[in-house]
């Protein structure tokens, strides 16, 4: 039940408590299945929104944040009259950080619940496992909210999280200027790290840096002494990490204990947000640089009133135990729901082709971290991006880039 940080049991208990908060308003419809009806009804049937996310498993903290923000956004839409005069009804399936479990559960959203749209999936392996169930055989619209490796150019799949260009094009030159030229790319062995590293390597080399180590490990690996020794012996300046839970906590701890940061090394991880940082003590990830579409520090700086209002509403309802963050796909979930709302209103119905045509150019003027807009014909989203560095257990934003293009499709 624990990894060698001693934290997994604690996180699991937290996830179970967090799940209980929103399931108190939900009706169980089977193992891992819930429906949250609207608080009001109309003569027309409700519009059904499917949420497929990891409520349990190693990245359950991220999935619970997604379910939380979906409930918050849908309640707000319903409190303002719904869409087209119809209330929204949420159907939630637990993908359980397990692709084989997820396929069967997501099929329920399509075949049993007949939802009008599906949002969710966190890892790219999960997206690849469930997407045909949704858009192919299921002929349903799919919105994927997580930052990812790019190259998903399938009709009827819209991506509302950051892409490699949005995360790497400014972060990596900054890392070279503020860390050094010798990079290590320790990675989990699945599609996101492989493709992201391919992009990152090009940016590193074009910016005057070099990759001296690139390795891939099983997703459940928690012992990294051999890799840490290579990093230290090869005088690596920057560790650009794509190891994921449950391995990332032990990896960062072992790297710190080897003295990597003490000797001046820089740690970077483009999915590391305010949920994942709880996997390590603050001193173990001091100086880590991340690049995301939102950081919670923006709500404290006073220059993003909408983000502050949204974060306050979320924290009031969900007690802050699983935070609303960017790397957990929760910002992409918010963005996806609001862009889809705008598209349905323009289309005047929930027909997949009509909504997809409207979603292709949908815009929202406010969102976490700023406005957002789909790039016509590209199935991806422009958004603001921020580079932040960890200091004493908190992030400090050091760079802001408005409406960065995803450069996809």
pLDDT(198) > 50: yes
Domains for the chain: give ranges and CATH numbers. 8-162+307-383 (3.40.50.2300), 164-297+387-404 (3.40.50.2300)
Question: How sure is the predictor about 22, in pLDDT bands with cuts at 50, 70 and 90?
Answer: low
Backbone angles phi, psi at 148, to 5 degrees: -160, -175
Bridge partner list, 35: 27, 91
Interatomic CA distance for residues 401 and 167, integer angstroms: 11
Who contacts 360 (Cβ-Cβ below 8 Å, separation ≥6)? 374, 376, 377, 379
Better pLDDT: 218 or 16:
218
The string of pLDDT tens digits covering residues 316-342 is 999 867 899 999 899 999 999 999 999
d(CA 268, CA 338): 31
Q: Which residues contact 372 (CB under 8 A, 6 or more apart)?
A: 160, 335, 339, 363, 364, 381, 382, 383
- The pTM (predicted TM-score) of the whole model is 0.90
Confidence of residue 38 (pLDDT cuts 50, 70, 90): confident
DSSP-derived pairing of the beta strands 47-53 and 27-30: unpaired
pLDDT reported for residue 25:
66
Angstrom distance (rounded) from CA 390 to CA 325: 15
- Give percent of the chain with pLDDT exceeding 90: 82
Average pLDDT, the chain: 91
pLDDT at position 23 is 59
Specify the higher pLDDT residue, 398 or 40.
398
The rounded distance, in Å, linking the Cα atoms of 370 and 139 is: 32
Sorting pLDDT into bands at 50, 70 and 90, what band is 42? confident
pLDDT of the residue at 168? 98
Give mean pLDDT, residues 284-295. 97
> Do residues 343 and 353 lie in contact, with contact meaning Cβ atoms separated by under 8 Å?
no
pLDDT, tens digit (0-9, with 9 covering 90-100), for 228-248: 999 999 999 999 999 998 999
Q: Is pLDDT at 18 greater than 90 in this prediction?
A: no
pLDDT score for 4? 30
Mean pLDDT in residue range 48-71:
94
- Give me the pLDDT at residue 128, please: 96
Higher pLDDT, 266 or 304: 266
């Amino acid at each position: 039940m624990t990894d060698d940080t001693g934290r997994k049991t604690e996180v699991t208990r937290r996830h179970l408590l967090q799940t209980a908060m929103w399931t108190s308003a939900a009706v169980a419809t089977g193992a891992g299945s819930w429906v949250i009806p609207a608080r009001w009804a109309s003569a027309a049937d409700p519009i059904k929104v499917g949420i497929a996310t990891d409520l349990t498993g190693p990245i359950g903290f991220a999935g619970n944040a997604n379910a939380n923000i979906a409930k918050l956004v849908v309640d707000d839409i319903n409190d303002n009259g719904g869409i087209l005069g119809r209330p929204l009804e949420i159907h939630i399936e637990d993908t359980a950080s397990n692709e084989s479990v997820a396929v069967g559960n997501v099929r329920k959203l399509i075949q049993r619940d007949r939802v009008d749209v599906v949002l969710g999936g966190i890892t790219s392996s999960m997206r690849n496992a469930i997407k045909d169930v949704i858009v192919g055989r299921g002929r349903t619209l799919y919105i994927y909210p997580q930052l990812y490796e790019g190259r998903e150019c399938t009709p009827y799949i819209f991506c509302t999280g950051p892409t490699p260009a949005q995360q790497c094009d400014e972060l990596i030159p900054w890392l070279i200027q503020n860390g050094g030229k010798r990079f290590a790319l320790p990675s989990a062995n699945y599609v996101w790290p492989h493709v992201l590293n391919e992009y990152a390597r090009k940016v590193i080399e074009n910016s005057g840096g070099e990759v001296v180590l690139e390795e891939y490990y099983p997703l459940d690996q928690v012992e990294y002494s051999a890799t840490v020794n290579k990093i230290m012996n090869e005088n690596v300046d920057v560790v650009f990490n794509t190891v994921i839970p449950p391995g990332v906590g032990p990896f960062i701890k072992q790297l710190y204990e080897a003295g990597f940061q003490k000797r001046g090394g820089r740690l970077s991880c483009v999915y590391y947000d305010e949920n994942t940082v709880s996997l390590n003590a603050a001193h173990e990830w001091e100086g880590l640089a991340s690049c995301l579409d939102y950081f919670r520090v923006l709500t404290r700086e006073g220059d993003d009133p909408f983000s502050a209002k949204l974060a306050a509403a979320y924290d009031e309802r969900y007690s802050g135990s699983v935070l609303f963050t960017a790397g957990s796909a929760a910002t992409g979930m918010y963005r996806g729901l609001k862009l889809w709302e705008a598209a349905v209103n323009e289309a005047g119905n929930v027909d997949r082709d009509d909504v997809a045509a409207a979603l292709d150019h949908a815009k929202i003027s406010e969102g976490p971290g700023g406005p957002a807009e789909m790039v016509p014909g590209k199935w991806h989203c422009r958004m603001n991006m921020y580079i932040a560095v960890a200091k004493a257990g908190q992030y400090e934003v050091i760079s802001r880039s408005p409406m960065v293009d995803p450069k996809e499709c």
